[in-house]
Structure formats: structure tokens, C-alpha cells
A and B are shown apart, each in its own frame.
Chain A
Amino acid sequence: MEMILNTMRMVDHDQAREHSLGDEKSLEEHLPIGILNPKDFKKLNLTRSLHLTVSNKNGQIIVGIKEDEGVPQGTILMPVSIWANQLTSFEKNEIIYKNITVNVEASRDPITSFNQIINSIKSN
């Protein structure tokens, strides 16, 4: 399903905190997460045990799911992090962190790990 991705700073999903005080496990628990409206959750036939594959022409990641009625339908929110930045892009020297078109699907695959992302950056 096509959705709009918005990245946002969130107190409970804060990359600065996880890098300062957490470990790889807590990074992976708190940052790779997609927050959706419950109506979109239903539309995507999601259950709590599933994950989300979020992709666009810039990249693809698998993240956990959270529901929130405050998120407008058609929008997926992600905390600002290395995970969300696999999907962000730039145009005319400016980074686009909001209103990014992505494709969102249910997934049974494991959440993309921090090391997978680091390795993909290093191996380029």
C-alpha cells in the first residue's frame, strides 16, 4: 500500500538516547518502528506479531509496528534514525525528511538489524 512517510523526533524512540545509553538491542527495539493509524493497520491485514516492509526507490527496511489514532490515515510515522534514513532522500542540496512516498507491506521477516545497515553503508 502506498503511504506517506514522515520522520519525527519522539521521546520514547530517541536515537540520541539509544546511542548514548543503550546498546544494539535497545537501538533495534526502539528505533525501527512504523506508527500507523488503526484503520491502516486493518487495511494492511496486520497483526501484532507481524512486521512492516517499508520501501521506496531509496531503500528498503523491515520495522516493527505501532498503532496510534493521532496519525492521519495514509501516513506512516517513523522516529528519526538510521532506519528511517534508508528511505529519505535529498533534492537541490536539501534533505527531504517529510512527505516521502513509500510502499508499506506486512512482513514475517525479521526487523532490519543495525549491523545490516552499517554493513550496507560500508560495503558500497
Chain B
Amino acid sequence: MKRIPCTGCSLLCDDIIVRSDGLFIDEVIGACLKGKERFDQLSSSNRILSPMIKKNGVLEKCSWEDALEKTSEIIKSSSKPLLYGFSNVSCEAQLKGIELAKVVDGFIDSNSSICQGKVLNIAKNTGITLTTITEIINKADLIVLWGANAAESIPRLLNKILFSRGKFRMTGREIRTLIIIDPVKVASFNVMGVRDIALQIQPNKDLELIRVLKEECCVADSISSEGVAGLDRDDLKRLILNLSEAENGVIFIGQGVLRPQSESNLVGELLELVQMINTKQEKGRISLIMMGGHFNMAGFDHVALSTCGKNGGLQFDKHQLIDTDDNIVSKIDNEDFGCSIIVGTDPISHLPLSLSQKLATKPIIVVDNKKSATTSIADIVLPSAITGIEVPGTAYRLDQVPIELKTILNPPSNIPSDEELLTKIIDKINKS
């Protein structure tokens, strides 16, 4: 029996008990369905166990030597390699990814740049008040899920933050108020009690709501009798009362809030609202947590910031970091790349069709441990060990706390970790 953190999502639950005979996992205790499935990946038939190179349109198994040779050949013959993903790998692998980008004068970005990284970029102007899961458990009296389907995307989150008893919240759930703001009655609505506030807002009306709340912060009783965004005036008054009187409130920001800036500065205005409330507040404060899904999405932001002073969109030229406003979307849209190196993610599934089509026009090298839409069109597939089960490392939890990942089994067929694999690619490129 061993207690290890789960890498099924960004909550990195560190209370999972795993029983193993050293060859197989016999039992997983304490994980949610999503976490249990992370462990099931070990023996899945979709697991990639051998490197593969595409020949005559079909991926064929090959030796590591041939795969690394071909990888180096593609990268060296490409003028602008694009490196993308890195949110499902350890910080150590993320660091190697940045080193590889530097060696090959490439561009590197993580999934965060189309997700929570947007909040960090906006917060450069406004500032941001963050908190930790431990502080929420011990002190929070108000939890707001805004456009965040916590029950389905981070299944054990509510269990930890809402139902747990804390040092200063000994009565646990009874003293915590849950507010959900979402146009869809998502699964999280099902845990609501009588003191909670369910706000099923009209689609795309979040900005109106934020503006009314900001106004109400300045001038009390400014909410019109019809309410706003399909929400009742009394519910809105209860919302503002809870936000302004919470001792320790936290707003979880989900994908529903991460709208394009070209549509509206929704995140910026939300950050301003939180600042306004905190300035007015005399006894407490409201903090924010971003709900990135991948287990180490926050890690790339930290690694990139600490090594390059920028949390994503890193362009190297003559082995030096240069200024750019590009992100993964603009690089692909402008076809400003010669090949792509995709690490631990599936852009062909999660990017819009027109971007997938452009990505597919250039050679694709995938580093991953399982099949995906991207591996199905890749030119080279390099298998890596499963981080947090077969290889250790560091990952940043969604509350920006670093967690040490452990191992319970050795990887099959001596498959390297993402970090080792990226090191091998760098060595091969440097030697050839």
C-alpha cells in the first residue's frame, strides 16, 4: 500500500491509497472515477508502448534509434519548430521542453495560453488575490462557482472545499454558502442546500451581471426591480451581500468565464469587481482560483515565468528569448511553423477545425502515453511513461501549490519519462 497524489486532474488529491505487487495495480482507494481511470490507463489497450514512424500513410513500430533519428531530422530540417502541450507532464519535463525550444529556435506554448493563462495575463494589469485549497478548507465561508462545472471537471473539489471541516470552520458545510453562477443547470447545482444561491444566468450575460454588481458596490440599491440577466433582484442582493460580507470568500473561475477578450473583457471586469469588494471589505476578502483541468497546467505558467519571465508564448531566435505577442492560435493560423512537437496533449481534438487542418499540413511529432486524434495523424509517435504513477516529478495544483508526484510501478518496456525523452531529443540534435 502506498499513498500517492492522483494526476487525474489539477486537484492532485494526495490522499489516494494504491495497492500494487510491483507489476500491476491491484486496488485504488479514495480516487474519483476520473482518478481511477487515470490508473486504468496503465494497462489500457490504447497505451502506446513502442515508438512509431509513419510509412506510406500508416504508423509502423520502429526502434528508438530510428525514431529519434527521424525526429531530429524533421526538427533540424524545419525552420520554425512549434512545441505545444506540456500541461500533462511534470515541471521537470516542462523545463526540458523550454530547453528544446531554445536549442532549436522554436516557439513553445502550453494549453494554459488558451485557458487559465489568459487570467494571469489580464491580472498583470489588475493584480489578483489568490488562495489555497488548505486556506479554503480552514477558513472559507463562501464558495462561488462561476462558469465552472466543478462536479464534473474536478470531481472531488466540492467534497474537499465544501463538505470538509476546517480549523476555523468546525461546522463545515453548515457554515459555508455555495453560490453557482451558470447558464446551464450543471451537476454542481445538485449539492445546493437551502442557504445556497443558484443563479441560472441567461447565456452570455455574465458581463451585465458583473457591471451591475460593480455599480451596486458603489451605490447601494442600484439594481432595477426586474433584476438583471434573467436573475431575480432579491437573489442579486443576496449575492452582493454574501460577497461583501464574507470573511473568506473564493470564486472559482471556469471556462464559462474565459471568453475571448475581443468579445468583452469579462475576466478583467471580474478581477476589478473582486478588487472593489476587497477595498470596501473591512473584515474579510474574496480570492480567486482558476479551474484549469490538466494536472499540471499551472506548472507551465510557473516554469515559464521563473525561467523566462513570461508565462507562455515563448519564441527563441539565435537561442535567445525574443519578444512576441504570438500564441499557439496565431502561430498555427499564420502557418508560422515548419513542424510541431506535441507533448501530452491532443490539439487535433481540442482546436477548431481550421487550426487542426493547418497543423496537419506540417510534420507532427507526438510525445504521449496514449492514442489520440493527434497520434492518428502524426508522423512520429514517441511513447512516454505515465507521470505520477511510473515516474516522479513536480506539479502545481490548481491553487498554485507545488506537489511532489510519486511512483508506484516501473514503466513497461523501459519507456522513458517525458523529461528523459526530451533530453534524448536535445542530445540527438546537438550531436547530429
Interface residues of A (CB under 8 A from B): 4, 6, 8-11, 14-15, 17, 19-23, 58-59, 68-72, 74-75, 77, 80-82, 85-99, 114, 117-118, 120-122, 124
> A85: which of B46, B200, B351 is its contact (CB, 8 Å)?
B351
- A90–B329 touching, CB < 8 Å: yes
A17-B34, A19-B346, A121-B353 known; A93 vs B373 contact (CB < 8 Å): no
Question: Which 3 pairs of residues, A with B, have the shortest CB-CB distance?
Answer: A70-B185, A94-B260, A124-B357
Residues of B in contact with A (beta carbons under 8 Å apart): 33-34, 37, 40-41, 44-46, 114, 118, 149, 151-153, 155, 183-187, 189, 200, 202-204, 255-256, 259-263, 293, 326-327, 329-330, 333, 346, 348-358, 360-361, 370-373, 376-377
Q: Could you tell me if B184 and A91 are in contact, using CB atoms closer than 8 angstroms? A: no
The residue from B46, B184, B353, B355 contacting A70, defined by CB atoms under 8 A apart: B184
**What's the least CB distance linking A40 to chain B, in Å?**
13
Check if B329 sits within 8 Å of A75, measured CB to CB.
no
- When the two chains form their complex, are residues A91 and B349 in contact, meaning their CB atoms are under 8 A apart? no
CB atoms of B329 and A20 under 8 A apart = no
- B114 & A21 in contact (Cβ 8 Å cutoff): no
Q: Are A118 and B185 in contact (CB under 8 A)?
A: no
Q: Are B360 and A124 in contact (CB under 8 A)?
A: yes
Give Cα A18–Cα B181 distance, bound, in whole angstroms: 29
Instruction: List chain B residues, Cβ under 8 A from A59.
Output: 353
Contact B352 A88 (CB under 8 A): yes
In the complex, what distance in Å separates the CA atom of A51 from the CA atom of B299?
41
Contact flag A98-B356 (CB < 8 Å), given A4-B203, A9-B293, A21-B41: no
> Which residues of B are found within 8 Å of A124, using beta-carbon distances?
357-358, 360-361
Say how far A59's CB is from chain B's closest CB, in angstroms.
5
> Which A residue's beta carbon lies closest to that of B358?
A124
The reply to whether A94 and B329 contact each other, CB–CB distance below 8 Å, is: yes
Contacts of B354 in A (CB 8 A): 58, 89
Q: Is the CB of A20 within 8 A of B44?
A: yes
Residues in A with CB closer than 8 Å to B263 are 91, 96, 99
Q: CB within 8 A of B37: which of A21, A93, A99? A: A21
Residues of B within 8 A of A14 (CB): 34
**Chain B proximity of A68: nearest CB distance (Å):** 8
Residue of A19, A75, A85, A96 near B203 (CB, 8 A) is A75
**Measured CA separation A10–B350 after assembly (Å):** 14
Given contacts A10-B152, A82-B373, contact A92 B350 (CB under 8 A): no
- Which residues of A lie under 8 Å from residue B203 when comparing CB positions? 4, 6, 72, 74-75, 99
From B153, which residue of chain A is reached at the shortest CB distance? A9
Residue contacts A-B, CB under 8 angstroms, 9 given? A11-B152, A19-B371, A22-B46, A72-B184, A82-B350, A85-B353, A89-B352, A90-B355, A93-B330
What's the Cα separation between A22 and B46 when bound, in Å?
Answer: 8
Q: For A98, give its contact among B187, B259, B293, B355 (CB under 8 Å).
A: B259
Chain A residues near B370: list those with CB within 8 A.
19-20
* In the bound complex, CA of A6 to CA of B255 (Å): 11
Which chain A residue lies CB-closest to B331? Answer: A93
Query: Is the beta-carbon distance between A95 and B360 smaller than 8 angstroms?
Result: no
Given the interface pairs A21-B41, A72-B184, the reply to whether A95 lies near B262 with Cβ below 8 Å is no
Report yes or no: A80 in contact with B152, Cβ–Cβ below 8 A: no
Q: When chains A and B are docked, how far (Å) is the Cα of A6 from the Cα of B185?
A: 13
* Cβ-closest chain A residue relative to B40: A21
Q: Output the nearest chain B residue to A27 by Cβ-Cβ distance.
A: B373
Q: With the chains together, A117 CA to B184 CA distance in Å?
A: 28
Instruction: With A58-B353, A88-B352, A92-B262 given, name 9 new contacts (CB 8 A).
Output: A10-B149, A10-B152, A19-B372, A19-B373, A22-B46, A68-B185, A81-B349, A88-B353, A89-B352
Whether B357 contacts A75 by the Cβ 8 Å rule is no
Give A114's nearest chain B residue, CB to CB: B373
Contact at B261–A69, with CB atoms within 8 Å? no
* Complex Cα spacing A117 to B376, Å: 11
Contact B262 A91 (CB under 8 A): yes
Residue on A with the closest CB to B373?
Answer: A82
Cα-based distance from A124 to B329 in the complex (angstroms): 18
B44 touches A21 (CB 8 A): yes
Residue among A4, A87, A89, A91 making CB contact with B204, cutoff 8 Å: A4
> Beyond A20-B46, A118-B376, is A86–B353 a contact (Cβ under 8 Å)?
yes
Contacts of A21 in B (CB 8 A): 37, 40-41, 44, 46
Asked whether A82 lies within 8 Å of B349 as measured between CB atoms, the reply is: yes
Residue of B nearest to A9 (CB): B153
Residues of B within 8 A of A11 (CB): 33-34, 151-152, 155, 187
A8 to B149, CA, bound (A): 8
Q: Is the CB of A15 within 8 A of B349?
A: yes
